[in-house]
């Protein structure tokens, strides 16, 4: 059986691809905020979904009748923020960021033992239950 989508195009869109140089190349944990037509949407780059599957790393924003994005704000995993105005729609927009992770690396370029020391004290065992993903898994072990 072959299925064909016969629905009409109903609006504009923007795909946002975020990449990093210097670690975490797919910018996991980055957030994009898109404001168009008086509404703001947010999407986060993540790799989790369900068993044996993964979310798409490309962020999709449905814009309806809006012919431009008034503002696109990106919050990168290292906390750096950037903003873009009047972004063209109906395309894939790629943004590349050079990550600044030097504060957590030792002289050999490895994550230092002290990098998570502050966070370990802030995490209690109850907050770890059911949240064993990413760096939090390291903190909860």
Is pLDDT above 70 for 85? yes
Kindly state whether residue 34 falls inside one of the protein's structural domains: yes
38 within some domain: yes
Whether 27 and 94 share a structural domain: yes
86, part of any domain: yes
The answer to whether position 47 is within a domain reads yes
| CA–CA distance, 107 with 116 (Å, rounded to integer) | 17
Per the structure, the complete domain to which residue 134 belongs is given by: 103-141
pLDDT digits (tens, 9 = 90+) for 15-52: 999 999 888 899 999 999 999 999 999 999 987 767 87
In CATH, what number is assigned to the domain containing residue 83?
2.60.40.10
Residue 71 confidence (pLDDT): 98
Based on the domain organization, do 111 and 87 belong to the same domain?
no
pLDDT digit string, tens, across residues 45-77 = 987 767 877 778 999 999 999 999 999 999 999
């Amino acid at each position: 059986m072959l299925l064909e989508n016969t629905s009409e195009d109903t609006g504009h869109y923007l795909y946002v691809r975020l990449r990093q140089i210097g670690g975490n190349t797919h910018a996991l944990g980055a957030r994009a905020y898109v404001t168009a037509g008086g509404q703001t949407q947010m999407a986060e780059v993540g790799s989790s979904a369900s068993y044996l599957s993964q979310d798409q790393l490309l962020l999709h924003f449905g814009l309806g009748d809006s012919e431009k994005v008034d503002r696109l704000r990106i919050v990168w995993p290292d906390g750096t923020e950037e903003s873009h105005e009047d972004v063209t729609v109906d395309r894939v927009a790629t943004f590349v960021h050079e990550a600044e992770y030097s504060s957590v690396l030792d002289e050999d370029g490895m994550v230092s033992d002290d990098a998570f020391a502050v966070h370990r004290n802030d995490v209690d065992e109850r907050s770890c239950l059911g949240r064993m993903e990413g760096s939090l898994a390291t903190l909860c072990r």
